[in-house]
Amino acid sequence: MKTTGPSVDALRNISGKYNYGKCEICDAKMVEKLIKQDFWIGGKLVVIDNVPAGVCSLCGAKVVRSEIGKRLATILKSPTKWLNASHMSVPVVELRP
Ligand SMILES: [Zn+2]
């Protein structure tokens, strides 16, 4: 996931909706969605829910704006803050030759 630079903040339009611009891979329009974003921190999988992100309608590439990226970084830097967070179990499947 990439973080957009401060220059993109200038693209915010009058409706208050953030303009994520176009996907840099396939040039399709980025649509804002609330996503679950996964992070691997020291061998542990952490999922942050309700992250506003621009998602490419074609290839699914994701970008978050810089202010959101900073908030995510702050959360991820303080593991004690999510000790009491809810947990979900995920299937772990081994790829066998
Ligand atoms: Zn794309």
Asked whether residue 88 is assigned to any structural domain, the reply reads no
Q: Pairing mode, if any, of strands 2-3 and 62-64?
A: parallel
CA of 31 to the centre of ligand 1 (A): 11
- CA angle at 12 for the pair 49 and 68, rounded to the nearest 5°: 25
Asked whether residue 64 is assigned to any structural domain, the reply reads yes
Asked whether residue 30 is assigned to any structural domain, the reply reads yes
pLDDT score of 15: 52
Give the CATH number for residue 25: 3.10.20.860
pLDDT tens digits, 61-97? 999 999 999 999 999 999 888 889 999 999 999 999 9
> Is the pLDDT assigned to residue 50 strictly greater than 50?
yes
CA of 67 to the centre of ligand 1 (A): 22
pLDDT tens digits, 3-47? 655 554 444 445 567 899 999 999 999 999 999 999 998 888 999
Give the domain range for residue 39: 2-79
pLDDT score of 82: 85
Asked whether residue 67 is assigned to any structural domain, the reply reads yes
Asked whether residue 90 is assigned to any structural domain, the reply reads no
**Token pair belonging to 47:** 């999922």
Q: Which residues are found with C-beta within 5 Å of the ion, ligand 1?
A: 23, 25-26, 28, 56, 58-59, 61
Total tally of structural domains belonging to the chain: 1
